[in-house]
Structure formats: C-alpha cells, structure tokens
Structure 1
Amino acid sequence: MTKKDNINRNIIIVLMIVVAAVFRLLAFKYQQLSNFNPVGAIALFGGAYFTDKWKGYLAVLLTLFTTDIILNYLYTSKFVIGYDGIIGVYLSFAIMVFLGTMLKKVNALNVLLASVGAVLMHWLVTDLPLFYTTLNLYPHTLAGYKTSLIAAIPFEYNMVYGTLVFSAIMFGGFELAKSKYAFLQTKKQLAL
C-alpha cells in the first residue's frame, strides 16, 4: 500500500463517515428517529478502519461535535458549543471507537457484538450522574442512576437499531468495496 493509497483509503473512510453523519440530523425533522442514528456505527467504523487509530478518534469526535453544533442550532437558533453531560457523551463515543479498534476480524458476528457493546457502553456511561452539573433530573445517587438507566431504555432501543442498521451498511459497504478495490486494503491484507 503506497502513501497515496493510504490517503485515498482515508478519504473514502472520511466520506463514508460524513455521509452517515447526515442521517443524524434527520432526528430534528423526524422526532421518532431520536437516537436512531449512525453515531455508534460511525464510532465503531472509524476505530476499525483507520490504520492510524488516532484518526479514528479525531474523525468520530469531530463528526459528533459538528453535528452537535448543527443540531443545537436547529433546536435553539443559537450556536451552542457544549451542554450538560457532554463529557459523558464524548467519553462513551471514545470508548466506542476503542471497541472498533478491537475488531481484528470484520464479520457479521463481530460487528453485531461490537454494536451491542457500543450501545451498552453509551447507556452505562452517559447516564452516570457525575457528568451532570446543572441538569438534575435524577438524584446523584445509586438509586438515581438506576432510575436514569430505566428511563433511558427507549432511547437505547433506538440506538441499538440505528447502530445495527448503520453498521451493516457501513461495514458491509466498505468490505464490499475492499474486495473490488485493492487500495482500500491494508498492507497486512494485501500480503495475504
């Protein structure tokens, strides 16, 4: 794999992430799609396919940040950079990218397990009370955390479905493209 091939491969990965990220913005127009979005799949995909793993973290967190700003503007007509709980949200997506880096072999079972694991991490981390300083929907106790987790179940169902659907599209599409275009394969895959 030449340097040019690696650059082209990264461009394709970034383009796939950007195209998928547009679907996150649909939740503004279609409220029933709340949390049915590609962000979990984007995190796993970036972690799995960038050969320089830091690029996976950067691309995913930058995509999340950019779409957060756009969504906040659509909802409030103001440019809002942060929100209460942002640390937990970004930490959960960094963990998802890490899960993507652990995918040594991309196949349906591994992507399914990683997708479910990613949503589980999102659910457990984003509802931790320590990440909320002004929004006090639940007491900052173990019982409050439990109540928060239970209340989040409908949103996490949508996230599971979104992550599974978009993972199938993104991973399946990239694997298909890799079988047709050698420049999308890593040095290790080309050596086989």
Structure 2
Amino acid sequence: MAYFLIVLAVILRLVPHMPNFAPIAALALFGGAYLNKKWAIIIPLAAMFISDLYIGTYSWKIMASVYISFALVGLIGMYIRNHKNIFTVAGGALSGSLLFFVITNFAVWAFGSMYTHNLSGLFSCYTAAIPFFRATLAGDVFYTTAFFGSYELVALLARKREEAKLETSV
C-alpha cells in the first residue's frame, strides 16, 4: 500500500493542476491516521522528493520548510489516529493547510529576497500568498475527503461482507 500511495501522489503532483492543489498534505494526514508511524512520514516526503526530481528544485532552505511542514502534518494525522471522526479529520485538513501556509511563507520571507526583512515585508509576503492558500486549502480538503472517505468506504464494505458471510454460515 505504501508504494501505491507514493506512486499515486507523484502522479497526482505531476499531472497538470491548479498551483498548490496537490495531494501531499492530505496524504501525510491520512498516513499519520492509518499507517504505521514510519510510513506516515516517509510516504509524503518520498512522493515530494521523487516528484521534485521532475518538477525541479529551488532554494534548499525553502524546500526544507515545505518538507518539514508535511512531516508536521503527518504528526497531526498521528493525533487523529486515536481521535478519528469527521471533526478531527476536517480540523486536521484545515490545521495542515494553515501550518503549511505559515511555515513556508515565513521561509520565503526569511530566506528569500522578494520581501524586505521587517514586519512590513513579512505582512506583504503573507498577503501575497493568500491566493495560493485558497488552492492549498481546496486541495487539502478535496484529497483528504478522497483518501479518508475511500478508505472508510472500503472498510465499511469489507465489514458488511464479513457480517454477511457470518450470517450465511450460521
């Protein structure tokens, strides 16, 4: 399953899509909630690394902030693991989007040359990033719904099938 998720995320990241509308944060959240802890972090980071080989790289400091953000979203997923319901999953998707927005745009401001290194520059950086946040949030909600919903639907169908087998064997 881990390799399938990595390949799926790489493909979804490489096919043409709206900027920042990507599956990686949702995959990290899902991995944290359902997979063992090692894979919860490895899967999204491996998908990022492999797809970055094709997409290209940029400032290593800013890239590090992206990877760290996704690892932290995986930790949010680990919290959800023991508190799984629609509210924690939705809250995890929103928290992950906000975390990514705050960390990566702070890194753009701190390590980049596009903005002055004062409060005004930081405010300008966050303001300029708002349109990208909309797409990030939309992608995170969409893919979180797809990953969690698909998994839960398959699990429900499997339980019903097992129940039907038990009923017919009695």
Contact 2:21–2:139 at 8 Å: present in 1 too?
yes
Alpha-carbon distance change, 115 to 39 in structure 1, aligned in 2, over 3 angstroms: same
Q: Which runs of 5 or more residues in structure 1 are unaligned?
A: 1-10, 73-79, 183-192
Residues 176, 22 of structure 1: CA spacing in aligned structure 2 closer, same or farther, 3 A cutoff?
same
Cα shift readout 1:89-138 (whole Å, capped 9, x = no counterpart): 111111111111110233322211110100000011001148854x3111
1:63 aligns with 2:85: no
Separation of aligned partners in 2, 1:131 and 1:90: 17
Q: 1:47 aligned to 2:32?
A: yes
**Greater shift in the superposed pair: 15-24 or 101-110:** 15-24
What is the rounded CA distance, in whole Å, between the counterparts of 1:140 and 1:93 in structure 2?
A: 25
Amino acid at match of 1:158: A
- Could you tell me which residue of structure 2 aligns to residue 175 of structure 1? 152
- AA aligned to 1:102 is Y
How many angstroms does 1:82 deviate by? 6.1
2:43 partner amino acid: A
For residues 40 and 90 of structure 2, the distance between their equivalents in structure 1, rounded to whole angstroms, comes to 19
Normalising by structure 1, we get a TM-score of 0.74
CA–CA distance in structure 2, aligned partners of residues 20 and 130 of structure 1: 24
Q: Residues of 1 paired with 2:30 and 2:42: CA distance?
A: 13
Larger Rg: 2
Report the alpha carbon displacement of residue 55 of structure 1 after superposing the two structures with TM.
Answer: 1.6
Calculate the aligned-residue CA RMSD, in Å: 2.2
Tell me the TM-score normalised to structure 2 length. 0.82
Deviations 1:26-77 (A, max 9, x none): 2xx44xx0011111111101111113x12211111111111111112xxxxx
The aligned counterpart of 1:15 is: 4
Q: How has the CA–CA distance of structure 1 residues 149 and 82 changed in structure 2, closer, same or farther, with 3 Å as cutoff? A: closer
Amino acid at match of 1:90: Y
- SS of corresponding position for 1:102: helix
Q: Which runs of 5+ in 2 are unaligned?
A: 160-170
| Partner Cα separation in structure 2 for residue 115 and residue 37 of structure 1 | 13
Q: 1:112 to 1:62 in 2, by over 3 A?
A: same
Tell me, yes or no, if the aligned pair for 1:69 and 1:81 is still in contact at 8 Å.
no
- Name the amino acid aligned to 1:105: H
Q: How many residues align?
A: 158
Q: How far apart in 1 are the matches of 2:120 and 2:88?
A: 34
Give the equivalent residue in structure 2 for 1:119.
Answer: 97
Once residues 58 and 125 of structure 2 are traced to their aligned partners in structure 1, the CA distance between those partners, rounded to angstroms, is 24
